[in-house]
Each structure stands twice: as C-alpha cells, then as structure tokens.
Structure 1
Amino acid sequence: MTGNLYRGQAGLPFSSTLRVYEPLDAFPEEQRKAIAAAGAQAASRAAVENAELLASLGRITRSGGDPFPTGRTDLVRVTTAPASREGTGGPSDDGADAEPKLLYCPSQLVLRAGLAANALMEGIHGPLAELLIPEEQRDKHQERIDQVKARDGAIRVHTRASTWGIPFSWFSLFMDSDHKDVVEAAGRILTVRVWAPITEALERARYAVANLALAAPDLDMLDDLAQLTEWLELFHVNSMVELDYGAVADKVYPDDSPMDIRLGIECLAEGDMTGAAAAYRRLASRWIPIRQLARAS
C-alpha cells in the first residue's frame, strides 16, 4: 500500500499538512459515533492516505465539471495518545499507567475544499476563474458547506495544508526531540510525521510570538505565528499536533528546520543579527529550491 501511495503522488505538487488530533469527547456528542466508526474502518494510515489521494484524483477527472467533494463520506485519521499517569502527570495511586486513548482527525473535505476554492478565487477573476471553477459549481458546493454547518454547528477545521514547501511558522511548533515516524519504501522516504502534544506546541508558538513581537515586529512570520496560535487554542488540551511532510520529505530529510527556526528566534531576541542571518540562510538553502519547483516547467 505504501508503494502505491508513492507512485500515486508522482508528478503531483508536493503537499504537506499540519493536523490536530483530538480525543473523542472533544467532538459534539452527535458526531462521536460517526467519527469513531469512520476511524475504526481505517485499515491503516497508508490506506487512508491512498483512499484520499485516489478520491481527489477522481474528482478532478469526473464528468460534469464539479471538482468538489460531496460529503457523503469523510475519512478519519486515528492515532494513539501517549500513555499518561493518573492525575497531573505523576504516578497513579495503584502504580499503573493509564490506558492510551485514541485521538481523531476528521478530513473535513467539504469545508477545506470550500476554503481552498475561496483562497484561489481571491487572486483570479473573470473568464479564468469561471474556467477553473464554474460559478454554478461554486454555488452548489456552498450549499454543501451550509448543510455541514447547519448540522454540526461551530466547526474547528483540523487540517491545514501547504503546497511546494512547509511554512516556516509550522516548524516553531516542534523540536528535534519530538516523536517522528519516517515512512519509507523502495529506497525512498514517502513522508516524515512529527508529533507534539498541543500544550507543548502552543507553549513554543507563544514563545516565538513574544520574542518576534519585541525583536522583529515587521516580520511576516509573526502574523503567521499569531494566526497559528489562535487556531491551536481552539482545540482540546489533550490533543496532539502532527506535521506531515508528505513527499517533500524525500528531498529535505533529515531536516534541521525546527532547530534553525528556534535558533533564529533566539538570536533575534538576543540581538545577534549574525546568528539570525545564518539560521535564515540555512532555511533558505533548504526550502527556496523546493518553492521554485512550483514555477518550473
């Protein structure tokens, strides 16, 4: 299955994702049964990734000109929270570890497709916009979005996606010591997934925001970090954050970007412009060639 996943991605833009996995009780009660059932149906993580990829390719090529997901089914990724002690992290009364809990990340394709289409349309107008996504199809999809919102109420979008590179702000949420899954097949790295508890990710993001606000208030990354922090604050305190590199991992891994971001921010906070510039040069040499691929013929 992993080999199929890699071959299916060949020729497609590099796509990376930032996901939040929540415990089941963080979801509205009326959604929990469906989310748990969808998570139980996932045979493996590779199967979920392959199914989502095949579905997206199918939408692009299907007749009728509607590229949007219908919402009839929604894939759910599942992971296991690290086992913890009872209480506040110390030993439990009986000395036994608490059972690890399942965490869930619904794909929410209807909502995410609508957000992506809106972002695309912001920079495109006239005949080209109509050619890319006909207004009739956009209106039809807006009806699906309205149905989802009417059914589920206030919604937290659990996934952020980026093509042709990973936003530098995302790296501020992670450290070298965080758990990593390196997925390989046929001598290639299919993806690397890095995990952090949301409490630690938020602490790191707030540290970065506080230091950049003082040392470099005009830096674009400060706005990105502030938005990222506000997004993470929407989720349950026992959530996990996952950075999924996707196929770009084969080009950049092993990757020191989280360390370079942290060192760069620390240098800015200390007034060490030379150190900050060196950290940025390392990041740029790693990621600018990836971003340039978006314009390659």
Structure 2
Amino acid sequence: MQSVTAVRTSVLPPYAAHLRVYEPLAAFPEPDRAHWQAYASAHGPDAGAVEQPVARAALEEQRTALADLVGRTPRALPERESGRAFVRAVDGVTYVCPWATRLRSWQALDELRESAPVALLDTALPPATRAAAEADRERWRAGHPDARPWIMTSRWEVPVRWFLPFGEEDRCFVPPAPAGPGEGEEPEPAALFYLTPMAQARRRVARAYRALRTGVAEGEPAQGAEQVGRWLEEFHPRSLVELDYGGLVHLLGPERLAEDRSAGELEEGLGALRAGDTAAAVRAYETVTLRWRRVLALRQAN
C-alpha cells in the first residue's frame, strides 16, 4: 500500500454531492496510463465491489485539502496538479477517477465569480490573485486542449439532472457502522450512491432528452439532460458513472437517506411522459425538485 500521511480532524466534509466518471486504465494515454497503473497497484482499490462506497477515500481527499491550507497563505489554486485518484475494482477491471484538484479549482473560481458579492470576492481573492490564476489557466490550456474534469461537484443539493443516468437498480445505501475495536478506528458514515456502466448512463440520458424535447416545452429539464449527455460523451465508453451524495449524508441523516428514491421517481416520471401522461410526469418531477429545494434552503439557515 502507498505510504500516505493520514490527517485526522473532527471537521465534517462539506455538504456537497459529486458526479464522477471512472475510466479503465486503457482509456489513459501514456505516460498517464503508467502513472495510474502504478498508483492503483500501490494504493489498492478504494472500493473493491460495486456495492462498496468510496466514502472513506473521499473524506481523505477533503482532509488532504484542509491540511494543505493550514499554516499557509490561501492561494487561488494548488501549485501542482494532484497525482491521486479514486480507484474502483469491478469484475477484475481497475477503474480510475483522477482528483484533478487543480483543474477543479479553476472551475470553482469561475463559480465563485458568478455567485459571490464583489466585495467578498475581492477580500478572499484579490483581483491580482484572480488574474494570475486566469493567466496560469490559459498557459495550461495551451498544452491540455482536451482536458476535462472527472468529477463534478454540487453544494447543498443534488441537481435533478444528475439522476438521469441512473435507475433504481443502481442505488446503493450503506447504513452507518460503529467504530471497530482497534485504537483510533473511526465509525463508518452512512453512504448513498448510484453506480452504472457508461453505456447504460448514456442510453438513459439520451432517452430522457428525447422524451423531454417531445413532451415538454423547451426549458431547463431538456437543457439539463443535454448538458449531462455532452459531459458523458467526453469519456471512454466502458467507464463507470457514479453519483455520490458525499457530505450530504451528514445533513440528511440515515432515515431520510433510506427513504430517498429520487432516481427511481424521476425514472417513473419520464416513463409517464413517454406514455403521454404529462400530469403524472409533472408530479414526479415536482416531487423530486421540491425535495432538493428544501435541502438547498438549509444553506440559508442559522
């Protein structure tokens, strides 16, 4: 196993969900393939079965990011790209989802520009710092024109469009477990995730897009399906797609997680839409949307 310094903290991970793509090693060009093959061999899989979550590894990613900030002047993005990844092993095949922390930091900076008040943004990241980060990205893009993140992140909610690649049979709920008997062992948190092959994910999204284009006036649902579909097309056709509730499990709690059937409800709504039952389709969509709007509203709570 790879030697990694374990950082322990009582801080819970952010209330964020993640949409991930795990690509087989064969999808990576050299020298990246050799790097990820060596990493997977030394590190071992974070999940060795379909029904196993990567929650522990995701927590380690958050702790690593937190440790990098301690005792340092905050920067707009890491100085170097991460060489780490989430690793899944399914039916003897190794799949890798690179953290791509630097690339995702550039994206987060764009989101911050759009959502934060100017005064707050200038205080946290002065204009000169942001300009340097943008210049750095442009130089990096020149050598990586086809780069795309393997991980999408959403804070305080799971966007409804993210459920489109999945069906009820892809859902896996792992209840919380007490800490083991060993010294320093931590309890296992609850986890809720969906995992499906890329081919199935693309088919579901394409069918959803056709149904939404035909049965609903042009608007957010169809645009959301198109957005997800375009992102999935960027990856190897034999990849795996995962929707992980991530830190939201701590916000929702085990009971609400056990009752959550968002992907299945949305799938039923799309079936009703294809059958011409627009009223039932709208009810299903509104049920899922309202559920996540209520969760999102907690962002403003004190």
TM-score band w.r.t. shorter chain: 0.7 to 0.9
Give the structure 2 partner of residue 89 of structure 1.
none
- Give a deviation string over 1:15-34, Cα, whole Å, max 9, x none: 10010111112112121122
Give the structure 2 partner of residue 127 of structure 1.
119
1:295 aligns with 2:300: yes
Instruction: Note closer, same or farther for the CA distance 1:201–1:277 as it changes in structure 2 (3 Å cut).
Output: same
Instruction: Note closer, same or farther for the CA distance 1:23–1:148 as it changes in structure 2 (3 Å cut).
Output: farther
The answer to whether the 8 A contact 1:264-1:280 is kept is yes
Give the structure 1 partner of residue 88 of structure 2.
79
The Cα of 1:143 is off from its aligned counterpart by: 5.1
Give the structure 2 partner of residue 97 of structure 1.
none
Give the structure 1 partner of residue 160 of structure 2.
168
Q: How is 1:124-273 mapped onto 2 (pairs within 5 angstroms)?
A: 124=116, 126-142=118-134, 144-146=136-138, 148-150=140-142, 152-178=144-170, 180=172, 182=174, 184-186=176-178, 189-249=189-249, 251=252, 252-254=256-258, 255-273=260-278
Which TM-score applies when normalising by structure 1?
0.82
Q: Secondary structure at the match of 1:29?
A: coil
Between 184-193 and 106-115, the greater mean CA deviation after superposition:
184-193
Gapped regions of structure 1 (runs ≥ 5): 84-99
1:57 aligns with 2:61: no
The Cα of 1:151 is off from its aligned counterpart by: 5.0
Give the structure 1 partner of residue 94 of structure 2.
102
The Cα of 1:279 is off from its aligned counterpart by: 1.3
Gapped regions of structure 2 (runs ≥ 5): 1-6, 47-53, 179-186
Letter in 2 for 1:48: A
- Give a deviation string over 1:138-175, Cα, whole Å, max 9, x none: 23434553565455452131111111110111111111
Give the structure 2 partner of residue 92 of structure 1.
none
1:40 aligns with 2:41: yes
The answer to whether the 8 A contact 1:71-1:144 is kept is no
The answer to whether the 8 A contact 1:19-1:243 is kept is yes
- Which of 259, 274, 282 aligns to 1:277? It is 282
Instruction: Note closer, same or farther for the CA distance 1:286–1:188 as it changes in structure 2 (3 Å cut).
Output: farther
The answer to whether the 8 A contact 2:82-2:101 is kept is no
Give the structure 1 partner of residue 184 of structure 2.
none
The Cα of 1:105 is off from its aligned counterpart by: 0.5
Q: Secondary structure at the match of 2:249?
A: helix
Instruction: Note closer, same or farther for the CA distance 1:185–1:139 as it changes in structure 2 (3 Å cut).
Output: farther
Which TM-score applies when normalising by structure 2?
0.80
The answer to whether the 8 A contact 2:269-2:280 is kept is yes
The Cα of 1:294 is off from its aligned counterpart by: 1.0
Distance 1:131 1:235 in 2: 38
Distance 1:103 1:264 in 2: 32
The Cα of 1:65 is off from its aligned counterpart by: 2.9
- Give a deviation string over 1:254-288, Cα, whole Å, max 9, x none: 22111111122222333323312331343245322
- Which of 8, 13, 21 aligns to 2:11? It is 8
The Cα of 1:114 is off from its aligned counterpart by: 0.2
The answer to whether the 8 A contact 2:76-2:133 is kept is no
- Give a deviation string over 1:25-52, Cα, whole Å, max 9, x none: 2112121122223333435445532331
Between 245-254 and 16-25, the greater mean CA deviation after superposition:
245-254
Distance 1:58 1:68 in 2: 14
Give the structure 1 partner of residue 182 of structure 2.
none
Q: Secondary structure at the match of 2:168?
A: coil
The Cα of 1:7 is off from its aligned counterpart by: 4.4
The answer to whether the 8 A contact 1:16-1:246 is kept is yes
The Cα of 1:124 is off from its aligned counterpart by: 4.2
> For the aligned residues, what is the CA RMSD?
2.7
The answer to whether the 8 A contact 2:8-2:63 is kept is no
Letter in 1 for 2:197: P
Instruction: Note closer, same or farther for the CA distance 1:214–1:244 as it changes in structure 2 (3 Å cut).
Output: same
Q: Secondary structure at the match of 1:246?
A: coil
Between 126-135 and 111-120, the greater mean CA deviation after superposition:
126-135
Letter in 2 for 1:75: R
